[in-house]
Chains A and B, each alone.
Chain A
Amino acid sequence: MKDLLKRVPDALLRLVFMFAVVIVGTIVVVKVIIPPHMKDVAIQHAETIRVENAKPIQFAGAVACTECHDELVAQKRKGYHRDLSCETCHGPAAAHTQDPDNVKPPAPRDRKFCPVCHTFNPSRPRGFPMINPVAHNPMKACITCHNPHDPKPPTVPRECAACHGEIARTLSVSHHVQLKCTTCHTAPARHRVSPRSVKPTKPVSRDFCGKCHAKDSAHMGAPKVDLAVHGAKYVCWQCHYPHLPEAE
């Protein structure tokens, strides 16, 4: 054995030693020095998910409010704002749930806040309650007339224009400006109380417009057409918008 070692050249031994050092060094570096998360991406992902889950919350969620404010919640549940979360208006309230006495969420009481949703904007979906803040009781705070937890008009409106402002404005520049809403629509009394469930009537036939616009009508000012030939199978309001007839 000793002979064998002696017969191996010194240079080769050194080479083997160097190789051993490099291999052992590499193993030490890979196994010990490089931290495990740099070798396994799954550890990084798990760590990211852990960090993400540990982030604090700002909004407590609507369920948290019901635990203490049950009266307001019960009131709100009956009104038009029933689907609104408390924190939509009062802002993030997680801190308030932790320390209810010292941290109070703000309650917007001035005229700035409600118009964020209720200003007239033509891009908003049809039927959403909107007002013109310049014309609608200027300088008065919304909450003097409307209870935000159960919003409704303070008095039943007399004029159609109170709710149908856009139609009223359009009508005011049209040839039909002299006509009352009731000339064409009959609004049941209940419509003023539950506007969406009880709806006013609309004309249903060509003859209704024909009362003024037919050739043999007695109405002097209105443009006349021959109902037998004009428009054939269509009803009038498929082509003419009655609130702004022959616009532009």
Chain B
Amino acid sequence: MMDRRSFLKKILSFLAVSGAAMGGFLKAGSAGAQATEEHARKLWGFGVSSDKCIGCARCVIACKSENNVPKEPFFYRTWVERYMIPMEGEAVVTNIHMGLAPEAEAPSTKGILRSFFVPKLCNQCAHPPCVQVCPVGATFSTDDGVVLVNDKTCIGCRYCIQACPYGARYLHPKTHTADKCTFCYHRLNRDLLPACVEVCPTQARVIGDLHSPASPMTRFKRMNKIFVLKSNLNTEPKVLYAHIDGEVR
């Protein structure tokens, strides 16, 4: 016959031992999984120094040939805008001409306060509106922070094109699926730079791993004051802009 005291002691010691063993087992399992995940996972970020852009459109042309984007001037994965801010009135924004010979006559600077170029591309938002609205789950964020489109499931309904606040998507006229910048995902995983970063003559574009302390993006973030486009929408873009004018939308 066991008295109450020894019974309670035995129960407590059993619970303590088994609990500790169980906890240790669970922790070991999950910690192992987490460690490998942390190590492998990158988070791609993109930097644009707006003041370095000379508006040569090499990036636009390189992107089109790298990613089979149609040559017509309505389909862009990346494009360059020219902002002309007049003395009075609203800023005039034009998509720059990307032929071999740019405008023969430079636009008049009369009445213009300041003017500059802004390269644009998909912002690879952390909270992407395009992913939220896709009715078939064809577009998604990868673990390394890039938003991709699965063109086997995409039904071409154009919801995502409407939802993107940055106008970064278009409907590919051949495949009839949504298409957008992928940071040249196929190049990143071959340790190459995206085509636009590769050809930019003034290093206005930078790409790197936001998690790595030694990546060009970390340097870009340390050396510049950083802005994102339409920050009020809380999409948390991973395309960061430096030296950008307040007029840029």
Chain B residues within 8 Å of A, Cβ to Cβ? 51-58, 62, 65-66, 82-84, 100-104, 106-107, 109, 112, 115-117, 137, 140, 142, 148-150, 152-153, 182, 185-187, 189-190, 192-193, 195, 198-203
Taking a contact as CB atoms under 8 Å apart, the answer to whether A61 and B193 are in contact is yes
With A45-B140, A116-B100 known as contacts, the answer to whether A92 contacts B65 (CB < 8 A) is: yes
How many residue pairs at the A-B interface have CB separations less than 8 Å? 118
Provide the bound-state CA to CA distance between A238 and B110, in Å: 21
In A190-229, the 8 Å CB interface with B consists of none
**Nearest 9 A/B pairs, CB to CB:** A55-B186, A123-B115, A48-B150, A88-B199, A122-B109, A117-B56, A61-B192, A58-B66, A52-B185
Taking a contact as CB atoms under 8 Å apart, the answer to whether B182 and A52 are in contact is yes
With A47-B152, A57-B187, A88-B58 known as contacts, the answer to whether A121 contacts B102 (CB < 8 A) is: yes
Partner of B100, one of A58, A113, A134: A113
Chain B contacts of A52 at CB under 8 A?
148, 182, 185-186
The smallest C-beta distance from A114 to any residue of chain B, in angstroms, reads 10
CB closest residue in chain A, given B99: A116
Chain B contacts of A45 at CB under 8 A?
140, 142, 148, 150
CB closest residue in chain A, given B182: A52
Query: Is A83's CB within 8 Å of the partner chain B?
Result: yes
Provide the bound-state CA to CA distance between A119 and B106, in Å: 8
CB closest residue in chain A, given B204: A125
In A42-94, the 8 Å CB interface with B consists of 44-45, 47-49, 52-59, 61-62, 83-85, 87-88, 91-92
Query: Is A128's CB within 8 Å of the partner chain B?
Result: yes
